[in-house]
Amino acid sequence: MNYRAFIQEQIASIRETVGRGIAINAINGGENSSVVTVLGHRILGKGLKTVFVDSALMRKGEPERVVKIFAKMRIPVELVDARAEFLGALKGLTDPEEKRNAVTNTFYAKVFGRLVRETGAKFLLHGTILTDIEETVAGIKRQHNILAQIGIDPEKEYGYKVLEPLQTLRKDGVRKVAEILGLPSEITKRIPFPGPALATRIVGEVTEQRLEIVREATAIVEKELEKSRAFQYLAVLLNDKATGIRENRREFGQIIVVRCLNSVDARTATPTKLSWQKLNRICKRITSIKGVNRCLYDLTPKPPATIEYI
Closest CA to 228 of 175, 266, 271: 271
Cα diameter, the chain:
68
What track of x and - describes contact with ligand XMP for positions 142 through 181 (by CB under 6 A)?
-xxx------------------------------------
Give me the amino acid identity at 85.
E
Nearer to ligand XMP, 230 or 287 (CB): 230
Q: How many CB atoms lie within 10 A of CB 277?
A: 8
Would you say 64 and 29 are in contact if contact means Cβ atoms under 8 Å apart?
A: no
- Which range touches ligand XMP (CB under 6 A), out of 174-182, 187-195, 273-281, 287-295? 187-195
Of positions 166, 192, 199, 235, contacts ligand XMP by CB under 6 A? 192
Site for ligand XMP contains 83 (CB under 6 A): no
Query: Which pairs count as long-range contacts for 64-68, CB under 8 Å and 24+ apart, including other chains?
Result: 65/29, 66/27, 66/28, 66/29
Piece of 83-91, 189-197, 210-218, 240-248 that binds ligand XMP (CB under 6 A): 189-197
Which of 29, 40, 63, 196 lies at the binding interface for ligand XMP (CB under 6 A)? Answer: 196
The minimum distance between CB 145 and ligand XMP, in angstroms, equals 5
Site for ligand XMP in 234-293 (CB under 6 A): 266
Cβ-based neighbours of 54, under 8 Å, separated by 6 or more: 63, 79, 80, 81, 82, 83
CB of 144 to ligand XMP, least distance (A): 4
Under DSSP, is residue 57 helix (H, G, I), strand (E, B) or coil?
coil
- For the bound state, the minimum distance from the C-beta of residue 244 to ligand XMP, rounded and expressed in Å, comes to 28
Residues 90, 92, 95, 98: is their CA dihedral positive or negative?
Answer: negative
Tell me which DSSP letter residue 148 carries. Answer: G
Helix 171-181, helix 31-44: angle, nearest 10 = 40
Asked if residue 31 binds ligand XMP (CB under 6 A), the reply is no
Q: How far apart are CA 225 and CA 204, in angstroms?
A: 26
Q: If binding is defined by CB under 6 A, does position 307 make contact with ligand XMP?
A: yes
Q: Which stretch binds ligand XMP (CB under 6 A): 90-98, 105-113, 194-202, 235-243?
A: 194-202
In the window 109-148, what residues touch ligand XMP (CB under 6 A)?
A: 132, 135, 141, 143-145
Segment 214 to 243, residues that bind ligand XMP, using CB under 6 A: 232
Binding of ligand XMP by 302 (CB under 6 A): yes
Q: Is 190 in the site for ligand XMP (CB under 6 A)?
A: no
The backbone torsions φ and ψ at residue 141, rounded to the nearest 5 degrees and listed phi first, read: -160, 140
Nearest approach, Cβ of residue 166 and ligand XMP (Å): 11
63 and 77 Cβ atoms separated by less than 8 Å: no
**Strand, coil or helix: 67:** helix
Number of residues that this document lists for the chain: 310
Positions that interact with ligand XMP (CB under 6 A): 132, 135, 141, 143-145, 192, 194-196, 200, 232, 266, 302, 306-308
